Amino acid sequence: MALIALVDTKDPKLADLGNGAFLGDVAASNDNALSAGFYVQHKSEKPLVYTYTYDELKIVLEGELHVSEPSSGTTIVAKAGDVLNISNGATLEFNSPSTARIFYGAKRARLE
For each successive 10 residues of the chain (112 residues), what is the average pLDDT? 51 78 73 85 97 94 97 95 94 98 89 70
Any idea which architecture 15-107 has in CATH?
A: Sandwich (2.60)
Q: Where are the domains of the chain?
A: 15-107
Distances (CA, A) of 48 to 11, 34, 106: 23, 23, 18
What local confidence, expressed as pLDDT, does residue 111 receive?
72
CA 110/CA 97 separation, integer angstroms: 29
Closest to 35 measured CA to CA, from 46, 21, 45, 24: 24
**What pLDDT sits at residue 95?**
98
pLDDT for 93 equals 98
DSSP tag of 111: P
> Which pLDDT score is estimated for 12?
63
Instruction: Report pLDDT for 32.
Output: 67
13, 27 contact by CB (below 8 A): no
pLDDT at res. 80? 95
In the prediction, which pLDDT does 1 show? Answer: 42
